[in-house]
Amino acid sequence: MINVEQWAEIRRLHRAEGVPIKEISRRLGIARNTVRTALASAEPPNYQRAKRGSVADAFEPEIRKLLREYPRMPATVIAERIGWKNSISTLKNRVAQIRPEYTSVDPVDRLIHEPGQAAQMDLWFPEPRIPVGFGQSMMLPVLVMTLSYSRVFNALMIPSRQAGDLTAGMWSLINNVGAVPKSLIWDRESAIGGKGKVTEAAAAFAGTLATRIILAPPRDPEFKGQTERNNQFLETSFLPGRKFASPQDFNKQLIEWLPVANARTVRSIQGRPIDRLPTDLAAMTVLPPMPPVTGFSHRVRISRDYYVRLDRNDYSVHPSMIGRLVDFTLTMDRVIGVCDQQVVADHPRCWAKHQVITDPEHVQVAATLRSAFNRLRRTAAENVRGEVVESRQLSEYDRIFGLNDHDFRGDPS
């Protein structure tokens, strides 16, 4: 069974590059029927076999420490420095896997940007704290996407840097563009590839869009320098003189300003990004027929306290769901709970933290259910108090059991 990364690569090769099934099978060493199954599946595979441990696992921090300072150090020298006593082949294989993360990158190839090939993604953290309600203000991330060829860029403030919000933000920006770049270039953002490997959530997102995520080498800001420069452009050209009442107000002002920014002349391309956009779009992959899975999904059993904690806030649920399992979906705007295809909770998502979000209807229903329960309890208590317990004389029990007074006296003789 293939894993999520293989599934994503198969879909990318076939849909974005037009590689035949036979060639994909040859390249990846996977049976043709497996390739066909992956292409027919709109969802990533759920099962992934757990990796077996290796004797090199315990030595990996020391290996990385040496490669960080000396990227070209031979594996035999590394073995001496870390006191390696096992098979040198095992160490060489592990070093070969890790070394590309620390070796230098040739920048010449990265400066040639073909239409539709890539979009650079980054997070920008504007200094002004944005009011998010309940008397709170927060420094929130802004997801910035720059198309490498046309230099058109788009941006959106999101609630957090968690995987669910990042994928939702990416889908919003890509959907607004109207086509899918063949590569999404990211740095080592923890929810995307903080450990040097694309996370499962990011790989599933990329596979659904038939694209791929490329992680920038460590300590190499020029790998995605275009979007880094756009972050600075936002800092100096968008922020000054502006005030924001909420994240929604921030995004509204940003959406109104972006067409002006993309219509400016960019010296590196000797033209306007908006004029190069049609060429960029023509080389991209079409949007998928079904949107990718984004946001957060949770299944929670509702307790007597008919609230559920999601992303640091408590949201009310219809009290009739107490004791039942409810599936919750968090988007950037809504928190929705569903049970048996029925919506039992629907709230605007709170961007603040440690708040209680209540639907007044849920409180009324809870009061009605509580009153009905108390009436039943009082009725049961009154019935118990009203019961008449029949009593008998002790002599009646003697008669029933055939006992006489002399049975309890001693022999008179």
pLDDT per position as a tens digit, 248-304: 999 999 999 999 999 999 998 999 999 999 999 999 999 999 999 999 999 999 999
pTM over 0.75: no
Give per-residue pLDDT as tens, 32-91.
999 998 888 888 887 656 667 788 888 999 999 999 888 889 999 999 999 999 999 999
Q: What is the mean pLDDT of the chain?
A: 88
Interatomic CA distance for residues 404 and 102, integer angstroms: 105
Interatomic CA distance for residues 298 and 296, integer angstroms: 7
Question: 168 exposed, middle or buried (CB, 10 Å; 0-12, 13-18, 19+)?
Answer: buried
The β-bridge relationship of strands 356-357 and 342-348 is unpaired
Residue 218 pLDDT exceeds 90: no
For residue 326, what are the contacts with CB-CB under 8 A and spacing of at least 6?
299, 300, 301, 302, 308, 317, 337, 338, 339, 344, 345
Q: CA 18 from chain center: how many Å? A: 29
Give per-residue pLDDT as tens, 179-195.
999 999 999 899 999 88
H-helix or E-strand containing 399? helix 394-400
Q: Which residue has the higher pLDDT, 373 or 276?
A: 276
Interatomic CA distance for residues 242 and 244, integer angstroms: 7
Output the CA–CA distances (angstroms, integers) from residue 405 to 237, 385, 398, in the order listed.
Answer: 112, 37, 9
Residue 329 pLDDT exceeds 90: yes
Residue 22, phi then psi, degrees to nearest 5: -60, -40
| Residue entry with tokens 């008397």 | 135
Q: What percent of the chain has pLDDT over 90?
A: 66
CA angle 251, 266, 256 (to 5 degrees): 20
Q: Which residue has the higher pLDDT, 309 or 109?
A: 309
Q: Which amino acid is at 170?
A: M
Interatomic CA distance for residues 320 and 113, integer angstroms: 57
Q: Which of 286, 258, 251, 285 is nearest to 273 (CA)?
A: 258
Q: Which of 288, 360, 291, 302 is nearest to 331 (CA)?
A: 291
CA angle 255, 265, 236 (to 5 degrees): 55
